[in-house]
Chains A and B, each alone.
Chain A
Amino acid sequence: MSVKVRIPTPLQKLTNGKADVECGAKSINDLIDELERDYPGLKERLTDEGRVRRFINIYVNDEDIRFLNKEATALKDGDNISIVPAIAGGSAGATVRT
Chain B
Amino acid sequence: MELTIRKKDLDQIVDHCNSCLPDEACGILAGGDGRVEKIYRMTSARPGPASYEMDPGEQFRVLKDIRQSGRALVGIYHSHPGNPAYPSGIDVEKAYWPGTLFPNYPGAVHVIVSLMDRLNPAVKGYTIDKGEVAEVALQVV
Contact = CB atoms under 8 A, between A and B. Distances in A.
Interface of A: 8-11, 13, 44-45, 48, 53-57, 59, 62, 64, 82, 84-97
Contacts of A93: 88-90
Given A87-B28, A94-B86, A45 B52 contact: no
Given A91-B24, A91-B80, A94-B50, 14 more contacts: A8-B97, A9-B103, A9-B104, A13-B102, A62-B61, A64-B60, A86-B53, A87-B76, A88-B54, A88-B90, A89-B52, A94-B84, A95-B86, A97-B84
B60 A89 contact: no
Interface of B: 24, 26, 28, 42, 48, 50-54, 56-57, 59-61, 63, 76, 78, 80-84, 86-91, 94-100, 102-106, 110
Contact of A64 (B57, B88, B102): B57
Given A64-B57, A93-B90, A85 B78 contact: no
A45 B106 contact: no
A13 B60 CA distance: 22
Contacts of B52: 88-90
B34 to A, nearest CB: 18
Nearest to A11: B97
Nearest to A88: B53
B98 A88 contact: no
B63 A10 contact: no
B contact face: mostly helix, strand, loop, or mixed: mixed
Contacts of A95: 86-89
B117 to A, nearest CB: 15
B59 A86 contact: yes
26 contacts: A9-B106, A48-B98, A56-B98, A57-B60, A84-B56, A85-B97, A85-B104, A86-B56, A87-B28, A87-B76, A88-B51, A88-B52, A89-B90, A89-B94, A90-B24, A90-B50, A90-B52, A90-B91, A91-B24, A91-B80, A91-B82, A91-B90, A92-B90, A93-B88, A94-B89, A95-B86
